[in-house]
Amino acid sequence: AQSVTQLGSHVSVSEGALVLLRCNYSSSVPPYLFWYVQYPNQGLQLLLKYTSAATLVKGINGFEAEFKKSETSFHLTKPSAHMSDAAEYFCAVSLTGTASKLTFGTGTRLQVTL
Amino acid sequence: KAGVTQTPRYLIKTRGQQVTLSCSPISGHRSVSWYQQTPGQGLQFLFEYFSETQRNKGNFPGRFSGRQFSNSRSEMNVSTLELGDSALYLCASREGYQETQYFGPGTRLLVL
């Protein structure tokens, strides 16, 4: 079975500061990993995904994440936060080559202050 | 291409009633999955349909059911509604065996 742990339910950063959202996974087989963002009253939008190609994955809106097998981590970063980045972020894992069940973390709400 | 659409967007029901939610996937996508999102339990997988067949099912009671039509549109039904069924129900589609799921805006269900 697979699982995801997101450290920090709330993260607050200043505009222009580095964004770091943490995600650790547990999986018995090589996983696929995803970051989704959810704005208020909306569905989930895919930011980026890791599917066993390059370990450093670049996504939309300037976000990127690095897959570190030794640390079982897939942390999300952005060099400079913007007010529009305020949202809830979800890390998710699925097993390779199987049905599409995604297992989500509990989410991290990102607040961006002036 | 148009994205995943879900109808209705908002719904209010009373305990004991039943409800049907609809999801239209992205054109060409044959897989549709359903998720429930609540403040307490987070995002939980309900079930997945592919070419009209249920391929995977989460840990939800039998009151939750679904189906998929030949045009890949899917419906989810919840019978004998309980207060705890109040949630945002999200539908996601993907093209065959690709790994990326694309989500719709969700249907917010309130059970009174």
Query: CB distance from A95 to chain B under 8 Å?
Result: no
Backbone angles phi and psi of A42, in degrees to 5: -130, 170
Pairing mode, strands A10-14 and B19-24: unpaired
Q: Classify residue A8 as left (phi > 0), alpha (psi -120 to 50) or beta.
A: left
| pLDDT single digits (tens) A33-45 | 999 999 988 899 9
pLDDT of residue A1: 75
Residues in A touching B99 (Cβ below 8 Å): 32, 49, 51, 94, 96, 100
CA–CA distance, A99 with B56 (Å, rounded to integer): 7
pLDDT of residue A97: 54
pLDDT of residue B98: 66
Q: How confident is the model at residue B95 (pLDDT cuts 50, 70, 90)?
A: confident
| pLDDT single digits (tens) A10-33 | 999 999 999 999 999 988 777 889
Please state, rounded to an integer, the average pLDDT across all residues of chain B.
94
Residue A90's closest CA among A8, A2, A1, A26? A8
